[in-house]
């Protein structure tokens, strides 16, 4: 496999002992470069291999809606792992503490984990790296083109990152080797270390689970197949029409790493024809999604006003005292109590289904800017609601999508208007020209 996907986070030499893959963002056995790397390391050193997942009971406003989607899938993955003679161990509690003591307990020879730009994950990793004396490898198993490799700085916009990605993309569309049965694991090692039990009642119970989408990598493959066979052909034409169903619905699976974006790209590229739709879809799946990881990795303030570009901060500062036509409190937003029936429907769709249509997410966030007293609060409310209700929330795509909508990140200055300054504006009339708003509102109210 391409070593450009791998980064060694310290200078320790490998010791005799099991190789541990600390699975976190990429929660799948198949098509997972971090696991592939860990098994290669174990084979080279003729060592056992074990997968661990550290389960917290609070994660960025997640509820049982998200933990159930995640854990039901992880349970399937742990069974797959066991059938490959690789034990899968669920560790509960504070990840750094639990992992460090586990590594000591089994005399681990090396540690491998996957890449994640979120602050919380980087804190976990640095705490662990300060307390181990074995090699610690990080493998980018989430991006087709590794985030750290493709750019060493915060990119200004999609047009600055796109050419860099396109130049090397083919090199990174290599096929995935299969994970093999691990014969350096004794039966007793597997039996002693395989453990996957959890209790859904230990998580925040609101918002509840959704049932229109099923978790797990097998269901992700089915959703991909439906997308390729029934939706891809008209994706370019209908993806931004909320009354139609032409988005792929892959984001919850991609967020939890239940399917690899590279697998999705490889399968979509195999399709004959529909060139325009393939191009538009791959732009979102590769350039847009990887631009979001770039933003979160190189900008510590990805989830707040400080992260915005100076032009955006200046223009929003100039508008701080402009009168707002409407002002809403956080719970009026949360429970769809604004004067705007379209905005309320979008919020209701997110609450009920855990997945707001992509085109409405821009409008949804921009209106929160328009109807709050300051941009800091607008970003705070958008992040809170997005993380609390979206199945695909708590994700770099979300923080970046909100920064784009409210703070013009990766966008350019527009014609100035009150409250927005030069941040791109969207309004009800503009939306009505794009699609049948009443039909969408009716559809949502029928959920």
Q: Where on the chain is the footprint of ligand FAD (CB under 6 A)?
A: 239, 247-251, 254-255, 284-285, 288-289, 292, 358, 361-362, 365, 386, 390, 392-393, 395, 397-398, 401-402, 404-405
What's the token pair of residue 291?
Answer: 């631009």
User: What residues does 112 pair with on adjacent strands?
Assistant: 21, 137
* 3 state SS of 313: helix
For the CB of residue 349, give the shortest distance to ligand FO1 in the complex, in Å.
19
In Å, the largest CA–CA distance within the chain is 70
For the CB of residue 89, give the shortest distance to ligand FAD in the complex, in Å.
28
Residue 49 interacting partner from ligand FO1, ligand FAD, none (CB closer than 5 to 8 Å by kind): none
For the CB of residue 227, give the shortest distance to ligand FAD in the complex, in Å.
7
Residue 372 interacting partner from ligand FO1, ligand FAD, none (CB closer than 5 to 8 Å by kind): none
In the complex with ligand FO1, which residue's Cβ is closer, 102 or 363?
102
For the CB of residue 101, give the shortest distance to ligand FO1 in the complex, in Å.
16
In the complex with ligand FAD, which residue's Cβ is closer, 48 or 408?
408
Residue 66 interacting partner from ligand FO1, ligand FAD, none (CB closer than 5 to 8 Å by kind): ligand FO1
Closest listed residue to residue 50, CA positions, set 17, 25, 76, 26? 17
For the CB of residue 70, give the shortest distance to ligand FO1 in the complex, in Å.
6
In three state form, how does the secondary structure of 250-278 look? Answer: CHHHHHCCCCCHHHHHHHHHCCCCCHHHH
For the CB of residue 285, give the shortest distance to ligand FAD in the complex, in Å.
4
Q: Which helix (H) or strand (E) holds 365?
A: helix 358-370
Question: Which residue matches tokens 């039966």?
Answer: 187
Q: Exposed, middle or buried by CB within 10 Å (0-12, 13-18, 19+), for 263? A: buried
* Interacting residue ranges for ligand FO1, rule: CB under 6 A: 24-25, 54-56, 59, 62, 66-67, 70, 116, 118, 256, 394-395
In the complex with ligand FO1, which residue's Cβ is closer, 62 or 308?
62
Interacting residues of 63 by C-beta distance below 8 A, sequence separation 6+: 203, 204, 205, 206, 207, 208, 388
């Amino acid at each position: 496999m391409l070593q450009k996907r791998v980064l060694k986070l310290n200078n320790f030499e490998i010791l005799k002992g099991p190789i541990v893959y600390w699975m976190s963002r990429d929660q799948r056995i198949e098509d997972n470069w971090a696991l592939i790397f860990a098994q290669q390391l174990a084979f080279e050193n003729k060592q056992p291999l074990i997968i661990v997942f550290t389960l917290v009971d609070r994660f960025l406003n997640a509820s049982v809606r998200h933990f159930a989607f995640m854990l039901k899938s992880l349970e399937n993955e742990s069974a797959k792992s066991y059938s490959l003679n690789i034990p899968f161990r669920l560790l509960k509690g504070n990840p750094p503490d639990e992992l460090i003591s586990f590594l000591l307990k089994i005399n681990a020879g090396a540690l491998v984990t996957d890449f994640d730009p979120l602050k919380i994950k980087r804190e976990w990793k640095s705490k662990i790296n300060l307390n181990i004396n074995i090699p610690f490898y990080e493998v980018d198993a989430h991006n087709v083109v590794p985030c750290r490799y493709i750019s060493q700085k915060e990119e200004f916009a999609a047009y600055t990152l796109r050419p860099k990605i396109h130049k090397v993309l083919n090199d990174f569309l290599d096929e995935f080797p299969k994970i093999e049965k691990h014969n350096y694991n004794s039966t007793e090692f597997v039996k002693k270390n395989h453990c996957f039990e959890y209790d859904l009642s230990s998580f925040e119970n609101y918002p509840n689970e959704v049932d229109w989408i099923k978790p797990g990598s097998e269901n992700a493959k089915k959703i991909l197949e439906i997308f390729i066979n029934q939706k891809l052909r008209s994706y370019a034409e209908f993806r931004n029409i909320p009354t139609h169903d032409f988005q792929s619905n892959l984001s919850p699976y991609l967020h939890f790493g239940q399917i690899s974006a590279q697998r999705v790209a490889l399968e979509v590229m195999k399709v004959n024809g529909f060139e325009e739709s393939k191009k538009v879809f791959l732009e979102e799946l590769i350039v847009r999604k990887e631009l979001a990881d770039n933003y979160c990795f190189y900008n510590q303030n990805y989830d707040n006003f400080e992260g915005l570009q100076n032009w955006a901060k200046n223009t929003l500062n100039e508008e701080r005292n402009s009168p707002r036509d409407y002002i809403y409190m956080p719970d009026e937003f949360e429970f769809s109590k604004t004067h705007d029936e379209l905005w309320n429907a979008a919020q209701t769709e997110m609450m009920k289904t855990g997945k707001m249509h992509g085109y409405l997410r821009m409008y949804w966030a921009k209106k929160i800017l328009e109807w709050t007293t300051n941009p800091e609060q607008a970003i705070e409310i958008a992040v809170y609601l997005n993380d609390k209700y979206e199945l695909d929330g708590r994700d770099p795509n979300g923080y970046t999508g909100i920064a784009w909508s409210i703070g013009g990140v990766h966008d350019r200055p527009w014609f100035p208007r009150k409250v927005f300054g030069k941040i791109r504006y969207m309004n009800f009339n503009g939306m009505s020209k794009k699609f049948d708003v009443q039909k969408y509102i009716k559809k949502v109210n029928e959920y």
